[in-house]
Amino acid sequence: MKNYVSLKEIQEDISVGNISCHELVEGYLDNISKYSDLNAFIEVYKSEALERAIKIDEKIKNQTAGKLAGLIVGIKDNICYKNHHSTAASKMLTNFKSTYSATVVDRLIEEDAIIIGRLNCDEFAMGSSNENSIYGPTKNPINKLYVPGGSSGASAAAVKANLCQLALGTDTGGSIRQPAAFCGVIGLKPTYGLVSRHGLIAFASSFDQIGPLAKSTEDISRVMNVISGLDEHDSTCIGERMNLEVSDNKTKKTFAVFKDVLSFSGLHKSIKSKFKKTIKNLEEKGHTIKYIDLPLLENLVPTYYILTTAEASSNLSRYDGIKYGHQTKASGIDELISTSRTEGFGKEVQRRILLGTYVLSAGYYDAYYTKAQKIRKLIQEQLKSILSENNYILIPTTPNLPFKIGQKNINPTQLYYEDIFTVIANLSGHPAVSFPIGEVENGFFASGQLIGDFFSESDLLGCAKTIINN
């Protein structure tokens, strides 16, 4: 089977009889077993996917197939799929089967995409390296000694290794974009509210968004056209369904670049040099670059971790070992709850619940939680004003290249600082797309991010495409 860059190529091959959906599924299944050492898929829906492929091949013949016929998708293990296990890579949910599908899953299936399996991730989407998982770490297909990023590390690895054509991930503070960068693929964190969170196992509800990872901006756009838009099951869902093609936009744009990011001492030299090259190319094409200040740079990571741990501590209180989730034997109710939670949650999740409970506690609420909310507001205002004067913000996706498995998970705060360039879009709610801007050492890639105005995804993807093609 070919390594298809886009669904368009797949559908063209199907239409001339070069391949069928059934053969496609077989091809991906072969790849999944060939590269099983990557530990990307933790469950493969083999017979189900093959059966659906036969039905969709029939529909294609009858010209009744949906828009995504031929698209083989992997979903992150924190997105619910009816009658299937969804565990958020946690012992807490090992036996949990969802009784309903996430809206995004329903919408993909309606348009005849095939879900081929569920993908590894960091437990409850907390992490930047896919090492916090009960299933063990996922490996980076570019070099298996390295992490694929996180928390949607396996989503990025699966796309890169051609185990599926597209994967859904989730992004609370960078978990789609950072793994996309580490594996050299494209990932979109949509505007907060554009994609329904119904059926997503919550981490930090005012930050979480589901989004696609793929090899082309076209595939991302086509899937966004299907999964986005209002949903009666999610009251924070406010966007209209996207309905645009990615077009090569020839108009001249203005890009805001943060001086503080360029002078950031932790920015890897290869990423910096590719980033500067991207800026130079844009200038040569007649676009304008405006260098601006970001005095709040140092505050981004602390603000993000205060607010998301607060929300996580509240969201994860439902896992008490009684209603559902891992349950242990105990002599009384208090012991039942505390032992079930101690056994069910991994170290990083426990750390965040503790931190979140602390910042929300009566004595510290104002000092931490209220203050962080105020900073969030300032960040939102600053981005709003930047994006009213510029078309986009251009920023590297990560300060560093992929690191070795086991290298950084000993020091959680060091890992938290890997998120310095991604959390800003979740704090503000703006859409952000990450894409490779050049190959660097060891076959890895430097990646850049474009952040745009609310609901400007189509334009953002169009601009990303232009940069990628240059």
Interface segment toward ligand GLN; rule CB under 6 A; list 99-107, 125-133, 269-277, 391-399: 125-133
- Known catalytic membership, residue 86: no
Work out how close the CB of 144 gets to ligand GLN at its nearest, in angstroms, rounded to a whole number.
Answer: 21
What the block records as the tokens of 376 is 């969030």
- Known catalytic membership, residue 76: yes
- Known catalytic membership, residue 314: no
Nearest by Cα to 455 from 188, 251, 178, 180: 188
Work out how close the CB of 218 gets to ligand GLN at its nearest, in angstroms, rounded to a whole number.
Answer: 25
CA distances from 360 to 205, 206, 207, 225, 407 (A): 16, 16, 17, 38, 32
Beta strands in 286-399 (DSSP E): 288-292, 392-396
Per-residue x/- track, 402-421, ligand GLN (CB under 6 A):
-----------------x--
**Which listed residue (165, 172, 217, 221) binds ligand GLN by CB under 6 A?**
172
Q: Return the H-helix or E-strand segment holding 447.
A: strand 445-451
Q: Which of 90, 129, 152, 175 is catalytic?
A: 175
**Which listed residue (126, 186, 213, 386) binds ligand GLN by CB under 6 A?**
126
How far apart (Å, rounded) are the C-alpha atoms in residues 207 and 202? 10
Work out how close the CB of 149 gets to ligand GLN at its nearest, in angstroms, rounded to a whole number.
Answer: 9
Work out how close the CB of 187 gets to ligand GLN at its nearest, in angstroms, rounded to a whole number.
Answer: 11
Interface segment toward ligand GLN; rule CB under 6 A; list 164-172, 213-221, 333-341, 373-381: 164-172
How far apart (Å, rounded) are the C-alpha atoms in residues 278 and 260? 17
Q: Which of 6, 20, 76, 253 is catalytic?
A: 76
146 contacts 402 by C-beta, under 8 angstroms: yes
Interface segment toward ligand GLN; rule CB under 6 A; list 53-61, 168-176, 218-226, 358-366: 168-176
Q: Does position 127 bind ligand GLN by CB under 6 A? A: yes
Q: Does position 187 bind ligand GLN by CB under 6 A? A: no
- β-pair partners for 166: 73
Work out how close the CB of 270 gets to ligand GLN at its nearest, in angstroms, rounded to a whole number.
Answer: 22
Specify the pairing of strand 288-292 against strand 392-396.
Answer: unpaired
Binders of ligand GLN: how many residues, by CB under 6 A?
14
Q: Which residues, at least 6 apart from 176, have a Cβ–Cβ distance to it below 8 Å?
A: 152, 155, 169, 170, 187, 188, 189, 211, 212, 213, 434
Q: Which of 86, 101, 128, 151 is catalytic?
A: 151
Classify burial at 105, counting beta carbons within 10 Å of its beta carbon; exposed 0-12, middle 13-18, buried 19 or more: buried
Q: Does position 151 bind ligand GLN by CB under 6 A? A: yes
- Residues of the shown chain interacting with ligand GLN in the complex, contacts defined by CB under 6 A: 125-128, 151, 170-175, 203, 308, 419
Catalytic residue numbers read: 76, 151, 175
